[in-house]
Amino acid sequence: MRVQVEPMPLDTLVELVNGWGVEPRRAGARSVVPPLADHVGRAGVPASVADVLTDSELIQFADTVFGIFASGGTAARVAAISGLLTRIDVRPDLTLEDGDVRRRWWADADDALLAAALLALRAQLSDEDPARLGVCVDGGCADIYIDVSPAGRRRFCSVTCQNRARAARYRRTRRSAP
């Protein structure tokens, strides 16, 4: 069955991948996954799809999207997103609602969550700076981020990781000082 999907909000995408992805949870020593209702309701998929997602489907989704972020550079990300959109057969459509032409996206219900994430990443790469996708550079973290800051120089997933890295650097310099 085909369902209509919307591009997933970027903050929801990041929360789902960091909360359900095997690598982000392993690196952050998080064994507990967040409750589904916290994020899936905002994921850009119909409730009929969100309500039947299983833990294993969410983990597979998160690991697939994490792979896009962890791939080497913009060209690899573009190829991965384009390939996945083709493989899962996401199709555009136009509708006329109250005199306004609207673009709609359709995907198989089994692929709706991934389709919503890919549509959001496609828009981010094509409409914004493609270098703003990343994986936290803190050695004890593998969380992803999407940099929406004005300067566009983000390298950490959060202020917590940034502070931890700065404190570690400070301790290293203090130990090596005479």
Strands in the chain per DSSP E: 2-5, 91-97, 100-108, 133-135, 144-146
pLDDT tens readout for residues 92-113? 999 898 999 999 999 999 999 9
Nearest-angstrom CA–CA distance, 42 and 169 = 38
The residue length of the chain stands at 178
Give strand pairing partners of 96: 101
Q: What is the value of pTM for the model shown?
A: 0.86
pLDDT of residue 144: 92
Tell me if 123 sits within 8 A of 139, measured CB to CB. no
Nearest-angstrom CA–CA distance, 51 and 68 = 25
Q: What is the mean pLDDT of residues 125-146?
A: 88
Q: What is the mean pLDDT of residues 125-153?
A: 88
Q: What is the mean pLDDT of residues 28-34?
A: 77
What is the SS3 assignment for 144?
Answer: strand
Residues 6+ apart with CB under 8 A from 42: 8, 9, 12
- 178 pLDDT band, cuts 50/70/90, is low
Kindly state the tokens that stand for 19: 């909360």
